[in-house]
Amino acid sequence: MNGFDLSADVALGALASMHGEQSPEAARERYAIAVWCQLIEPGDSVAGRIIAARGPVAGLEAVLAGGPLPEVTARELAEARKRWLPRLSARAVAASLATAAARGVALVTRSDPSWPGQLDDLGPHAPLCLWVRGDVRALRRFEASVAIVGARAASRYGDHVAMELAADLASEGIAVVSGGAYGIDGAAHRATLATGGLTAALLAGGADRSYPAGHTQLIDDIAQSGIIASEVPCGSAPTKWRFLQRNRLIAALSAATVVVEAGWRSGSLNTAGHAAALSRPLGAVPGPITSATSAGTHRLIREYGAQCITSADDVRELLGLTPRTDAVTGVDAGRTGEATRVQDAMSTRSWRESTDIARRAGMAADAVEAILGLLRLDGSVETGAEGWRLRTAAG
């Protein structure tokens, strides 16, 4: 048992007092999760299945006892034990908990009322817990949030767009999730804070560490009113693996992901892939085709069906919300009226020539033909040898 006793460890008392546990069982479970965090890397589905089958305490005891476990294959368990057991150290767990206590980092688990249940959509890859700086109760407010992510080496255009989108959405009470990085992430966080909105930065390293170092002040500011969270324990370094796994948390915590700028190899495409794997809506902001930092977003639009995002209203639509804009401007206003007149002049039963429709609508035939073309694109009308007619809802 490597000198480990889940019921007697010295850190248990400290942890219980820090979280005001109601019962020794709850404290033991939380401590077992802290131990698991020390053993595994994010997204370890072998651990996920053992814990799903047995809970964190019995699962850990079973792994330490060394016998076979039916929920995983013998080979998986043998490989996992090889990964996990060298990391088993009561001292390391105690150190991470002491750092957490010192830096005000809470350990939030699935048993906590503030647990954001949408993370469980990750199944066996779901995080066991979140280490959180800030007001943990705010975690529940991310169910209808939007992730705004993108290139670290963003252009001024990208920074501008990220700030405009975040400020607009945040001012409407939509929480903004990002990764705390330079570039798009930082712009989204800053604009959200500036408008008094709620933002969460999900970090790849421990929640006690400010990474990147140049964002120490920003991360402290976010913790003041929002959330700094990580699934790895305090003291953990941000590795490449943890960055990529952190991306799945960004996609899973938010209701939709918007990529503002991304190069061909941007990590944001990884976040987009996770959003897609979770069937969460995915949006991408277009930009100049001459800009390398928009190559990735155009690829998402072209090849992966990401919605083309041109405004905060488009993001609201992605989230399933009604666009805020009341005053429809430009061609939309014109089109609404004109399209209505054209459709009023049409029939679902009879085919009519465009000139006939123009006459009935009292409109110029040129305008009618263009509107018919556009109405056909959106499936409202159809054309045949004898002209045009309205499509029925069933058609």
By CB under 8 A, is residue 353 in contact with a second copy? Answer: yes
By CB under 8 A, is residue 307 in contact with a second copy? Answer: yes
User: Among 220, 302, 323, 324, which residue interacts with a second copy (rule: CB under 8 A)?
Assistant: 302
Restricting to residues 59-98, which ones interact with a second copy according to CB under 8 A? none
By CB under 8 A, is residue 313 in contact with a second copy? Answer: no
| Sole window of 89-97, 144-152, 211-219, 265-273 interacting with a second copy (rule: CB under 8 A) | 265-273
Nearest to a second copy of 298, 389 (CB atom): 298
**Measuring CA to CA, which residue among 315, 295, 283 is closest to residue 155?**
295
Rg (C-alpha) for the chain, rounded Å, is 26
Site string for a second copy, 333-352 (x = CB under 8 A): -x------------------
The alpha carbon of 283 is separated from its chain's Cα centroid by a whole number of angstroms, namely 12
Contacts with a second copy by CB under 8 A: the residue count is 71
By CB under 8 A, is residue 380 in contact with a second copy? Answer: no
User: Among 330, 349, 392, 395, which residue interacts with a second copy (rule: CB under 8 A)?
Assistant: 330
- Cα separation, 244 vs 253, in Å, equals 15
User: Among 82, 113, 303, 326, which residue interacts with a second copy (rule: CB under 8 A)?
Assistant: 303
By CB under 8 A, is residue 153 in contact with a second copy? Answer: no
Nearest to a second copy of 210, 270 (CB atom): 270
Q: How far is CA 313 from CA 151, 260, 319, in A?
A: 22, 15, 10
User: Among 231, 294, 339, 357, which residue interacts with a second copy (rule: CB under 8 A)?
Assistant: 294
To a second copy, the closest distance from the beta carbon of 6 in angstroms equals 26
By CB under 8 A, is residue 308 in contact with a second copy? Answer: yes
Q: Is residue 350 classed as helix, strand or coil in its secondary structure?
A: coil
Is 48 within 8 Å of 123 (Cβ atoms)? Answer: yes
Nearest to a second copy of 223, 357 (CB atom): 357
User: Among 34, 46, 184, 198, which residue interacts with a second copy (rule: CB under 8 A)?
Assistant: 46
By CB under 8 A, is residue 324 in contact with a second copy? Answer: no
User: Among 314, 351, 380, 391, which residue interacts with a second copy (rule: CB under 8 A)?
Assistant: 314
- Cα separation, 80 vs 55, in Å, equals 17
To a second copy, the closest distance from the beta carbon of 93 in angstroms equals 24
DSSP characters for 107-128?
EEETTSTT--GGGGGGGGGS-S
User: Among 123, 173, 320, 337, which residue interacts with a second copy (rule: CB under 8 A)?
Assistant: 123
Q: How far is CA 198 from CA 29, 98, 207, 247, 305, in A?
A: 30, 28, 18, 19, 29
Say if strands 105-109 and 129-134 run parallel, antiparallel, or are unpaired.
antiparallel
The alpha carbon of 227 is separated from its chain's Cα centroid by a whole number of angstroms, namely 14
By CB under 8 A, is residue 392 in contact with a second copy? Answer: no
> Which strands form 199-202's sheet, in the order they lie side by side?
105-109, 129-134, 227-230, 199-202, 176-178, 146-149, 256-259, 282-284, 307-308
User: Among 26, 58, 95, 374, which residue interacts with a second copy (rule: CB under 8 A)?
Assistant: 374
User: Among 27, 200, 234, 285, which residue interacts with a second copy (rule: CB under 8 A)?
Assistant: 285
- Cα separation, 81 vs 40, in Å, equals 10
